[in-house]
A and B are shown apart, each in its own frame.
Chain A
Amino acid sequence: MSKSYGEEWQSDDVLRDVSVDFPAGELTVIVGPSGCGKSTLVNLLAGFESPDTGQVLVDGTPITGPAKDRMVVFQETALIPWQTTVENVTFGPKMRGDKKGAALQKEAEDLLIKVGLGEFMNKFPIQLSGGMQRRAELARALINEPTVMLMDEPFRGLDAMSRSLMQEFFLELFEENQKTNIFVTSEIDEAIFLADNLVILSNKPTTVQTVIKIDLPRPRNYKMLTTAKAFKYKRQAMDLLHGEAMKSFAVLK
């Protein structure tokens, strides 16, 4: 698919002929230089925007807009500030009316306990720390039982310590559920640690440069990041990304 913004005579080509497969039940991580259109790609996959050419297919069916089978976890946080944590989690099922009442409340509470927010159910998002907000947001997405989870740099803005804890927590959840996950990041270490498949994007106009299969055993832990194999992947990814980053730097100059 392709996508550009702006008026015809000065349009800004963001995506050009991007074609990529996200294998079911696997965790695909998208990395690319900053400003390369990662968020645009997520918006298209989520259905918030539609591509100029091409289409997004889920199990062979083209998408028509946002839907509950593709849950998005946003950059920073998009927990609704005027709802308590538990209200945020129950919001989706309540809106669609497919789960209700005490059963829904119980499910939301169990999910929040699972993500370690049992004591914070009735707090507002602003009263939670950054890491807690991300976990609440994961719970809000998971309760809808999506087939695809779309994560747009979900751990951006967290400090290094919470970030690595969240990565491990997220991997545990993934290894338990094995949902199709699309995870966007700009951190190579994070990408290699999480990914089954690593999609490396080029500079703008963005195309898919390479897809690397990350063959590290699961369950993973942070120690694997310092193995020779992980280093080899990192070197490979960095060589590719560095070249792209240099290009965008040159454009800026």
Chain B
Amino acid sequence: MNSTAESNTVAPEGFNLFLYRTKKHFSGPDPYLTVAGVFLWLFAYWVLCEGLQIWRFTKLPGPVAISKDWFSTTPFQGISIFTQEYYDHIYVSCKRILIAFGIATGLGVPLGLFMGWSRSIRDYIFPIIELLRPIPILAWVPLSILLLPGFEGPVIFLATLASFFVTTLNAMLGVDSIDEEYFRAAGCLGSSRWDVFKNVVVPGALPFIFTGLQISIGVAWFSLVAAEMVSGDLGLGYLIVDAYMNNVTVPMVIAMITLGFIGYFSSACVRALGNRLMAWHVKELAQQGR
């Protein structure tokens, strides 16, 4: 099917390829269903808050009130896309996530790989990780405040910790998931143990690692915001609590929606990076019709 199309016409490149794909995307039902879904959801929200004003929903800002403030140069409740304060909160949260996610990935991926690769490393470390992992992140709050100075330290520590467990576990399971035959084939072809690590263990575990990273960046956001709500001076989590305390509900919801968008975007970035690194895996999934 594909090969005939390619042999009859010249394959588009660069911007033309982008145009071709965009056109193709919009000729199917998918984007319209997404738009319809969003509008349906917004409409339901509007009906509850502003249309029929049902019971407790009157306490919440509806979509009209939110968008009026969000896109206003003079926002009634203080936060909009034109105020510097909004970007300060976003910047601080993003910076913290980048640091936390970076540390967690930098430590977690190698540790997980080594745990999967070597029985003795796993015996040393795995029981401790399994013991610490079920402790809820919020339970670590007092300890982290005692241990680390300032606002920044505890907040980043909590996000790192949550992200680290997910990343480590997935990297280890990624090594477990590699078929024994590939190790045997590599051994038979004369690879040293270190060669096997570089050429079989690392690339073979990548699909699991990237699944783990997508979850871990989500978990990092989750625990970052929780930490900012408990102990913070800036950031989107702090903005939510601060707005609630001051009884202004619009910035609260704006911060929530902003978190949703940034979270979506950060997961998409991780996914895109993964697909770039694993061309073979993308083709494998495509063959299974996904």
Contacts and interface: CB of A to CB of B under 8 A. Distances in A.
Interface of B: 179, 181-182, 184-192, 195, 199-200, 203-204, 206, 278-281, 283-284, 287
Given A95-B189, A126-B284, A80 B184 contact: no
Nearest to B195: A95
A127 B187 CA distance: 24
A92 B203 contact: no
A48 interface: yes
25 contacts: A46-B184, A68-B188, A70-B188, A71-B188, A72-B185, A72-B188, A78-B179, A78-B181, A78-B184, A80-B182, A80-B185, A80-B199, A81-B281, A82-B280, A82-B281, A83-B199, A91-B186, A91-B199, A95-B186, A95-B195, A95-B199, A96-B190, A126-B283, A127-B287, A144-B189
Contacts of A81: 182, 280-281, 284
B190 A92 contact: yes
A245 B199 CA distance: 42
Task: Say what secondary structure dominates the interface of chain A.
Answer: loop
Contacts of B287: 126-127
Interface residues of A, number: 26
A67 interface: yes
A193 interface: no
Given A80-B199, A82-B203, A144-B189, A72 B279 contact: no
Contacts of B280: 81-83, 124, 126
A219 B88 CA distance: 80
Given A80-B186, A124-B284, A126-B284, 19 more contacts: A68-B190, A70-B188, A72-B185, A74-B181, A74-B185, A78-B182, A78-B185, A80-B200, A81-B281, A83-B280, A92-B189, A92-B190, A95-B192, A95-B195, A96-B190, A124-B283, A126-B287, A127-B283, A127-B287
